[in-house]
Amino acid sequence: MGKLIGYVGNDHLEKMLEEDILALDGINIAFGVVREGKVFWEAEKRLAALKRIKEIKPEIKILLSVGGWGAGGFSDAAITEEGRKKFAESAKSLVIKAGLDGIDLDWEYPTVPAAGIDARPEDKETFTLLLQEIRDALDTIESDEHLLLTIAAGAGEYYIEGTEIEKVAAILDYVQIMTYDQASAYITFTGHHTNLYNYAKSKASAKTYIDNFIEAGVPREKIVMGAAFYSRKWDGVVDANNGYRQEADTIGDFGPDYGELAKNYINKNGYVRHWDDDAKAPYLFNGESYISYDDEESIGHKIDYLKAEGLYGIMYWEHKCDTTHTLTRMMAEKLKG
């Protein structure tokens, strides 16, 4: 049975429903950040919420995810041995203080100056060294259970090229590939942002990205694929072919979260749900606006795929986006079935 992991925001930990906690195998807390070379996280504010979660499901794995989109400080911290030790020791201290089950590193992305974050060519090697330093620090903690070290990895080839991914995978317990945002805020042409398979002329798909990571040396049993609880939306779309693969006036920016889609968009208020059986992905169109998203059907196909391929599991971004509380529980049941 594959594992189910959810990214949960700091302020949402205390709001998690018992049924959702019971459905999950792991929680990645979003986020801790890097300040002056150390991992910073207000652990004392979260202790009560963490205690409650563990009381409900003692075996659940709770990791602090460090970084996220727009979070910097990694390259500077990793460039020296002293900096790497400082970073790792600060992460170790937080694991001990909060009784965490490990660290999830979300450095977006080594060697790539995305979102204005500092990057340098040396990141390719120092990323590996930083992860090894964290692994070594975690191994010095007295614990009855193995403490986890994981990463969130960009899905494109740029991530593989910018890291020593085979060496990295050997250090990690698993690699979470962010198989979403495939058609997104960079193009004015509608498509799918979290599709499982290739479609039309597009070669961007979860399967393609996962195959690339396996070919680069990541064991399939250490791979976690991603699902999206949010959408991408294009406006001013040409009213042809139900808006599919059409030019738009806007880029595919963030659209409504799944809870809002279920309430006001899916086959409501002029929006009609369509299904692309090649991509195994749904989309909405109202004659002007096109929305790409994940739902129970598309995620179900992803879980069938990960089972067939022997992957470690599936994760999603982000827990608060599903106010219907249906997707997490559906995923858990599908993984068990």
The reported pLDDT for the residue numbered 313 is 98
Mean residue pLDDT of the chain comes to 97
Instruction: Tell me how far apart the alpha carbons of residues 209 and 314 are, in angstroms, rounded to a whole number.
Output: 14
Domain positions in the chain: 3-229+293-336
Residues 6+ apart with CB under 8 A from 277: none
210-250 pLDDT, tens digit each:
999 999 999 999 999 999 999 999 999 999 999 999 999 99
Higher-scoring residue by pLDDT: 231, 337? 231
- What topology is assigned to 3-229+293-336 in CATH? TIM Barrel (3.20.20)
Exposure string for 133-169, b = 16+ CB within 10 A, e = fewer: bbbebbeeeeeeeebbbbbbbbbbeebbebbbbeebb
* Alpha carbon separation from 263 to 165, 232, 256 (Å, rounded): 41, 17, 10
Euclidean distance between CA atoms 246 and 242, whole angstroms: 9
- Please give the residue that has the higher pLDDT: either 185 or 145: 145
| pLDDT at residue 186 tops 90 | no
Residue 1 has pLDDT above 80, yes or no: no
Confidence class for position 100, pLDDT limits 50, 70, 90: very high
Q: From the CB of residue 10, how many other CB atoms can be counted at a distance below 10 Å? A: 16
Residue 159 has φ and ψ, to the nearest 5°, of -70, -40
Average pLDDT over residues 165-179: 98
pLDDT tier for residue 258 given thresholds of 50, 70 and 90:
very high
Tell me, yes or no, if the pTM score tops 0.75.
yes
Q: Three-state SS for 170?
A: helix
Catalytic residues: 108
